[in-house]
Structure 1
Amino acid sequence: MSETNDPTLWRADLPWPGPDAHKHQRGRLGVVSGAMLHTGAARLAARAGLRVGAGLVRILCPPDAGPVIAGAVEAVMVSDFDTPEALAELAGPLDCVVIGPAAGLTEATAQNLKALAGTGAALVVDADALTLFKGRAEALFACLDAADVITPHEGEFERVFPGLLGQGREVAAVEAARLSGAYVVLKGRETVIAAPDGRCRINGNGSPWLATAGSGDVLAGLIGGLMAQKMEAFEAASAAVWMHADAAGRFGPGLTAEDLPGLIPAVLRDLA
């Protein structure tokens, strides 16, 4: 049984800081970047995580990407790694890690995801880190648990869950959540948020202006930023999907993904 995604369902769970809050209390988010020429997606996700309230955001990147990213961000920290083990060590102190946006369709991404699964961080898994597991979904599921979220669009969903969309988006998302053991955000005009226990929400405020490169990376960062602040995954995904669409609707024509993080403060003010 599904319900319409609406702020009345999760507004009370939004993680507002108290008067004595400091950055480490507000959550620590990591975002895994791709190589030197593929850093934009991680930067978008990281900025979104900051804007939605994560107190500390760190981009984790291959060594060649470090100088590129460091010259393009300010409040976001940058750390490089050269092995999956080094990535896991960097992720150890973090509350949530986003992996997938422009991470690369290579076995290294699969090994990085496996390494992150062994840390205490919750995961938001998107884009390349989903497509990479076409034909071997069980290997992906082995890296996920009930604290994690996957965020496929329909193409990525079909690669990981072939044939399920024929049952309809709502049924498919619920079944995918059951199979994977993680929360599923099936993106689209009416994004579906599904939980492994069968709960399901349909988002009704979608905006056509989100049909632009990088908007999904921003959504992954919003979900990760809320989860880093200890918002429960189903509520975090529901809130992020709604805020992402609301921000796009406020901007309208001409929207690019770079615009979205800067629109989040106004959305949060109205929710407060």
Structure 2
Amino acid sequence: LAARAGLRIGAGLATLFCPPSATLVNAAHETAVMVKPFGSPEALGELAESCKCVLIGPAAGVSDATRDNTLTVLDKAGAAVLDADALTVFKDDPKTLFDAIIHPTVLTPHEGEFARVFPGLLDKYSRPEATAIAAARSGAVVLLKGNETLIAAPDGQLVLNRHASPFLATAGSGDVLAGMIAGLIAQGLDAFKAACAGAWTHGEIARRLGPGLISEDLPDALPGLLAEFYARRA
């Protein structure tokens, strides 16, 4: 889902990195998405070094391996998007995560994941204040998902996005959003603008698709919307 979203939003090339045991399954399932296996964090680092942006987290598993792989991506990739399990694995040691953020990085937690990495903030502060503090503390752009999505940058920029749909409450939609953001960063958009543009576009697609949408529908609806954007610019 994430790789397809990255392709559809214009990344040009998307590669799915996976364990060797999953290579044939993924290669048979995907056509436009390339598949490359890795067997260790070091091997992943070699792959990540050539990438403009790497997304890690969806379906990665809550394990020591995901923790090590996430730290490797943060060190080696030009930019990173961290979602789902790549956040949860730092529940007991968020400082290690924050110290590893040295390149442009976007964190895309829902409220449960946010509370694991930034414990207590949502209890003490409003959602906008908590998101802004989280961005300053982590050194990353933080996109807090919800009915009203908040995007905060470490320099204090803060955007509230209400342009969404209740029908986005479906499994996998967050993976698509993370892939869209990674695809935008891969094209040269800075992390904060990519997160804002990704959130708005994700919501616009869902508003157009309406009831009954599933996550697989979202990437395939992007070309029509992007064509409209290009037509307006012309």
Do the two structures share a fold, i.e. TM-score over 0.5? yes
Aligned residue identity for 2:83? D
CA distance in 1 between counterparts of 2:69 and 2:89 reads 12
2:203 equivalent in structure 1: 245
Q: Deviations over 1:35-63 (max 9, x none)?
A: xxxxxxxxx00000000000110000001
Percent sequence identity over aligned pairs: 55
Cα-Cα RMSD: 0.9
Residue 50 (structure 1) aligned with residue 50 (structure 2):
no
Is structure 2 residue 142 aligned with structure 1 residue 187?
no
- 1:101 pairs with 2:58: yes
Higher mean C-alpha displacement, 111-120 vs 122-131: 111-120
Q: CA deviation at 1:265?
A: 1.3
C-alpha separation between the residues in 2 aligned to 1:189 and 1:146?
Answer: 29
1:119 aligns to what?
76
| CA distance in structure 2 between the aligned counterparts of 1:172 and 1:122, rounded to whole angstroms | 24
Deviations 1:51-103 (A, max 9, x none): 00001100000011111100111111000000000001011111000000010
Match of 1:33 in 2: none
Code of the residue aligned with 1:137 in structure 2: it is: P
Give how far 1:144 is off: 1.4
Deviations 1:202-230 (A, max 9, x none): 00112101000000000000000000011
Residue 202 (structure 1) aligned to one of 146, 152, 160? 160
| CA distance, structure 1, for counterparts of residue 145 and residue 114 of structure 2 | 9
Aligned match of 1:173 in 131, 151, 154? 131
Structure with the larger helix share: 2
Say which of 80, 97, 109 aligns to 1:152: 109
Contact 1:146-1:181 at 8 Å conserved across structures: no
Q: Aligned partners of 1:164 and 1:242: how far apart in 2?
A: 25
More displaced 10-residue stretch of structure 1: 210-219 or 134-143: 134-143
Q: Which amino acid aligns with 1:119?
A: K
Q: Does 1:236 align with 2:194?
A: yes
CA contact under 8 A between 1:96 and 1:124: conserved in structure 2? yes
Partner of 1:269: 227
Segment drifting more, 83-92 vs 261-270: 261-270
Which residue in 2 is equivalent to 1:258?
216
The 2-side partners of 1:161 and 1:146 are apart by 20
Residue pair 2:81, 2:182 contacting (<8 A) in 1 also: yes
Q: In the alignment, what sits opposite 2:100?
A: 143
> Which residue matches 2:184?
226
Q: 1:146, CA displacement in angstroms?
A: 5.3
Secondary structure of 2:160's counterpart equals strand
Aligned to 1:217: 175
Gaps of at least 5 residues in structure 1 are 1-43
| C-alpha distance in structure 1 between counterparts of 2:224 and 2:100, whole Å | 36
- How far apart in 1 are the matches of 2:51 and 2:77? 8
Q: Tell me which of 27, 34, 49 is aligned to 1:92.
A: 49
Following the alignment from structure 1 to structure 2, what is the Cα–Cα distance between the partners of residues 51 and 165?
A: 34
Q: Is the 8 A contact 2:81 2:105 kept in 1?
A: yes
AA aligned to 1:134 is K
2:16 corresponds to which residue? 59
